[in-house]
Amino acid sequence: MHLIDTTPNPIHTAESSCTRGGCCSSRSSMCYWCVVSVAAWGLLSLLGLVWHPLHARSAATILFAAAIGCFANWVKNRTYHCSITAWIFLAGAVVFLLTDTGVTKIEPRFVWPFVAIGTVLSFILEWRYATRPGQ
């Protein structure tokens, strides 16, 4: 009697052998993130034609699209850093949207460093703690 489940998990890509905790990025996961993010950006930009705060070049639109790409990538490929950056991008997008709609006044120079530092830290954490293929 074997206690180890050897059935392949259809959620994971061929390039990774992930655990439930998270994986390192792969070429296919980065391409997937890019495709989903560009598609989300396109749809949000169309919405921006009707509601101007989400116009194509808006920081809120770009960060919402990146967050959608990260959430999709986390669900499909379990990339470790996307579990962190999705929330960072979403928070940044909400702050920019609130600023663009006049609800609050926060200078972009105060938001972008948190987004950038959080993104870099998420990749460092992925490099340090995520499961790599073959481990």
Where along the chain do its domains lie? 27-128
Model pTM greater than 0.85? no
* Single-letter residue type at 12: H
State the pLDDT at residue 130.
Answer: 77
Average pLDDT over residues 109-134: 89
Write out pLDDT tens, residues 84-100: 999 999 999 999 999 99
How many other β-carbons are positioned within 10 Å of the β-carbon of residue 12? 18
Percentage of residues in the chain with pLDDT exceeding 70?
Answer: 80
Query: Is the four-CA dihedral 131, 20, 93, 65 of positive or negative sign?
Result: positive
Query: For residue 96, which of 56, 63, 60 has the smallest C-alpha distance?
Result: 60
**Looking at the predicted structure, is the pLDDT value of residue 123 above 60?**
yes
State the pLDDT at residue 38.
Answer: 97
State the pLDDT confidence band at 132, using cuts at 50, 70 and 90.
low
**Looking at the predicted structure, is the pLDDT value of residue 110 above 60?**
yes
